[in-house]
A and B are shown apart, each in its own frame.
Chain A
């Protein structure tokens, strides 16, 4: 009996986890050239309007660029030849608490921070191969040049 109950709880937990993972965190609003989104090991070409999920990797082609709005009103955009990963995202729309980490492997990024950064100074970070950028409510740009081995 207890075993059955535990199993059921585990199942419910897994379902909830799955739902939380599939939560939409933002949307592609503008797009130029070729832009790919990698999700769960699959690469997809995209169009404006596509909803983004946590852990999505966004890659722009040599003449591609993309503009994304997140649910906390953060504006992100990336220029040609960029790779960015929406590594971590949690946003409570009532309290505005949460966490957003984006990883920039290469390319150019612009960010206008949203409600998360306003609520808490440690909530938003941009992680690059050379540095971790902590965002305290502002607008800024990042350029990461390609590594030698790429």
Chain B
């Protein structure tokens, strides 16, 4: 029992210590995402929690631990954080390519789209890109058949990437069969939107 009391006392003391230590001046600012949406950030100090959820709203924590909500401008943020903005990685992108029923052959539209995929991979520096190619099928045919077909589809796309000079080492290939339909259907239903390969570039 005594042991617990000591522990409790130690915990209480450490809390008090945190409260009294001069803090490092800290600023947190939330900005709109690419699509204009603004999320929420909760800033919790030993004394209180502040939520910021409007564009360019900020919390400034002073050395004495006091926290104040501010409203900055886009220009303020650009000036203060320019170094982190310019070095930010390219956002991950994914493309969906569609296939002809029961085959590992791309639809004519998706053949066109494949060149966009190639262009995007080539645009990024190849030694830092990671490409994931995942094949899917609709629910026509049994599970084993669709596992095979989905892998053939992803392999087909991978071959195409390698053929134009993308290093095989940065590509990982998988087949998910009929397990992850984009559009859920009953078994044995043909659904063109589920016959696809998803290429993710990170």
Contacts and interface: CB of A to CB of B under 8 A. Distances in A.
17 contacts: A30-B128, A49-B128, A65-B83, A65-B86, A73-B91, A128-B26, A130-B23, A130-B24, A130-B25, A130-B61, A131-B43, A133-B42, A133-B44, A141-B29, A141-B77, A143-B26, A144-B26
Contacts of B29: 140-141
A96 interface: no
Given A110-B81, A136-B39, A140-B31, A131 B127 contact: no
Given A112-B91, A141-B31, 5 more contacts: A67-B88, A130-B24, A133-B41, A136-B42, A141-B29
Contact of A144 (B24, B84, B87): B24
B28 A140 contact: yes
Given A136-B41, A139-B39, A28 B128 contact: yes
A117 B128 CA distance: 24
B26 A130 contact: yes
Contacts of B91: 73, 75, 112
Interface in B76-122: 77, 80-81, 83-92
Interface string A9-34: 00000000000000000011111100
A57 interface: no
A112 B88 CA distance: 9
A39 B201 CA distance: 27
Given A48-B125, A128-B24, A135 B88 contact: no
Contacts of A66: 87
Contacts, number: 144
B177 interface: no
B45 interface: yes
Interface string B13-40: 0000000001111111111110001111
Nearest 9 CB-CB pairings of A with B: A138-B39, A79-B83, A29-B89, A134-B42, A110-B84, A130-B23, A65-B87, A136-B40, A67-B89
Contacts of A134: 41-44
Interface size of A as a range = 35 or more
B202 interface: yes
Contacts of B175: none
Nearest to A109: B84
A146 B89 contact: no
Contacts of B128: 27-30, 48-49
B41 A106 contact: no
Contact of B87 (A77, A130, A140, A145): A77
A49 B202 CA distance: 12
Interface string A63-87: 0011111000101011110000000
A103 B26 CA distance: 13
B84 A112 contact: no
Interface in A78-137: 78-80, 106, 108-110, 112-113, 117, 128-137
A11 B168 CA distance: 35
A145 B26 contact: yes
B89 A30 contact: yes
